[in-house]
């Protein structure tokens, strides 16, 4: 028999697939790691499981306890899945701009959702992270996952994602390309691959042009879940402890236009329905691979599914509203400052 005792046994061990069409004449092979194949649908299943296990081991999360996090995105889904499977209560503080589908998914897993204002600085008591901290502190048995500062986040990638890539490529991987949200993925995977290869693997951060991580001004951008945006009134912009900046050897800065265009091409030309942040990573990887040779081996992490973005990246009217000239019938223009600017904050 080929059966699993628990859903959490099938987290990780995701496939690595070669890109064949969007690569055109690029000389180096580019392979993508399909994290949407995880049971909760994204790379965040890995850290959800690792953070819960670490909290259980440390005695911070006990039977009857409550898992709390400030998130509307994939981490929430991963935590809700693990919590449901282990019998924990689950509460998420989410920004009000979150799509109805995202809220519905969390509720479908039995989670409670507290909707918070989207446009407040980090210091504000109504900010998602402030609310999550308060709920965790005031709930008996409450435990805050805190993916931004939890060492189990990069730790999960060091223990699983990195070794998988090394094994799947037979040690041939030369370049790792990943976006940076909390930084857990690039930090854990990158540190492992550098160590095991004796420093031979180059780690490339794929970052939105405006993101603070690669030296941008922190102004809003449209690709969700990666990069670092700064609310104009935020005073203390401490970077997440899950991100170790030294792991990044080089950045590729990618425009919204390139990211969204690449995500759409991945669906139409490769059959890979992935989100905008995957578009950012592949756009960066194609630039890197163009400079390399056939002996190199590029691996790109694709964090989640495009199903979360059917009303955005894959919706022609939404794209037209951005005015980026992405569609054949659209005349490119400067992005309108009034265009709905969905940004990274709180979207992980």
Ligand X SMILES: Cc1ncc(COP(=O)(O)O)c(C=O)c1O
Question: What residue has token string 């989410």?
Answer: 94
Does 74 bind ligand X (CB under 6 A)? Our answer is yes
**CB 27 to ligand X: min, Å:** 27
Length of the chain in residues, anyone? 348
The residue with its CB nearest to ligand X is 181
Applying CB under 6 A, does 227 fall inside the site for ligand X?
A: no
Range 140-179, binding ligand X (CB under 6 A): 179
Check binding of 14 to ligand X (CB under 6 A). no
> Nearest approach, Cβ of 214 to ligand X (angstroms)?
13
Binding range to ligand X, per CB under 6 A, among 115-123, 183-191, 244-252, 327-335: 183-191
Q: Any contact of residue 185 with ligand X (CB under 6 A)?
A: yes
Task: Please say which residue, 8 or 75, places its beta carbon nearer to ligand X.
Answer: 75
Measured from the CB of residue 307, what is the shortest distance to ligand X in angstroms? Answer: 11
42 binds ligand X (CB under 6 A): yes
Nearer to ligand X, 65 or 211 (CB): 211
Positions marked catalytic = 44
Residue 348 as a binder of ligand X (CB under 6 A): the answer is yes
Residue 73 as a binder of ligand X (CB under 6 A): the answer is yes
Q: Within a 10 A sphere around the Cβ of 106, how many other Cβ atoms?
A: 23
- Report, in Å, the least distance between residue 288 CB and ligand X: 18
Does 262 bind ligand X (CB under 6 A)? Our answer is no
Mode of pairing for the β-strands spanning 89-95 and 66-70:
parallel
CB closer to ligand X, 65 vs 240: 240
Among 12, 29, 155, 183, binds ligand X (CB under 6 A): 183
Q: Does 23 bind ligand X (CB under 6 A)?
A: no
Q: What is the 3-state secondary structure (H, E, C) of the chain?
A: CCCCCCHHHHCCCCCEEECCCCCCCCCCCEEEEEHHHCCCCECHHHHHHHHHHHHHHCCCCCCCCEEEEECCCHHHHHHHHHHHHHCCEEEEEEECCCCHHHHHHHHHCCCEEEEECCCCCCCCCCCHHHHHHHHHHHCCCEEECCCCCCCHHHHHHHHHHHHHHHHHCCCCCCEEEEECCCCHHHHHHHHHHHHHCCCCCEEEEEEECCCHHHCCCCCCCCCCCCCCCCCCCCCCCCCCCCCCHHHCCEEEEECHHHHHHHHHHHHHHHCCCECHHHHHHHHHHHHHHHCCCCCCCEEEEECEEHHHHCCCCCCHHHHHHHCCCCCCCCCCCCCCCCCCCCCCCCCC
Q: Which of 75, 160, 214, 255 binds ligand X (CB under 6 A)?
A: 75
Distance of closest approach, residue 63 Cβ to ligand X, in angstroms: 28
By CB under 6 A, the count of residues binding ligand X is 19
CA-to-CA distance for 286 and 19, rounded, in angstroms?
A: 10
**Interface with ligand X in residues 95-134 (CB under 6 A):** none
Residue whose CB is less far from ligand X, 66 or 72: 72
Among positions 265-284, residues that touch ligand X (CB under 6 A) are 275, 277
Residues in touch with ligand X (CB under 6 A): 42, 44, 73-75, 179-185, 225-226, 275, 277, 303-304, 348
């Amino acid at each position: 028999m080929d059966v699993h005792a628990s859903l959490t046994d099938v987290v990780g061990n995701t496939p690595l697939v070669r890109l064949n069409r969007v690569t055109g004449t690029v000389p180096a092979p580019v392979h993508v790691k399909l994290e949407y194949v995880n049971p909760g649908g994204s790379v965040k299943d890995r850290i959800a499981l690792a953070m819960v296990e670490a909290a259980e081991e440390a005695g911070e999360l006990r039977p009857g306890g409550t898992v709390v996090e400030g998130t509307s995105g994939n981490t929430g889904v991963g935590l809700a899945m693990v919590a449901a499977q282990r019998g924990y209560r689950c509460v998420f503080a989410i920004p009000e701009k979150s799509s109805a589908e995202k809220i519905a998914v969390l509720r479908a897993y039995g989670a409670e959702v507290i909707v918070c204002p989207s446009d407040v600085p980090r210091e504000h008591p109504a900010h998602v992270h402030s609310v999550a901290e308060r709920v965790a502190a005031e709930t008996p048995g409450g435990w805050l996952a805190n993916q931004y500062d939890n060492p189990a986040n990069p730790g999960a990638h060091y223990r699983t994602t990195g070794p998988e890539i090394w094994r799947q490529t037979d040690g041939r991987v030369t370049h790792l390309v990943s976006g940076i949200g909390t930084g857990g993925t690039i930090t854990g995977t990158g540190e492992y691959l550098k160590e095991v290869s004796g420093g031979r693997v180059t780690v490339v951060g794929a970052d939105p042009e405006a993101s603070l991580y690669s030296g941008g001004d922190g102004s809003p951008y449209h690709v969700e879940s990666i990069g670092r945006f700064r609310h104009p009134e935020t005073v203390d912009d401490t970077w997440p402890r899950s991100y170790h900046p030294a792991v990044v050897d080089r950045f590729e800065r990618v425009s919204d236009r390139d990211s969204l265009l690449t995500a759409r091409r991945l669906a139409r030309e490769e059959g890979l329905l992935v989100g905008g942040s995957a578009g950012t990573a592949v756009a960066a990887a194609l630039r890197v691979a163009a400079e390399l040779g056939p002996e190199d081996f590029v691996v790109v992490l694709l964090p989640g599914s495009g199903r979360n973005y059917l009303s955005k990246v894959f919706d022609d009217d939404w794209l037209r509203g951005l005015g980026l000239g992405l569609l054949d019938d659209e005349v490119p223009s400067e992005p309108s400052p009034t265009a709905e600017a969905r940004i990274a904050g709180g979207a992980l």
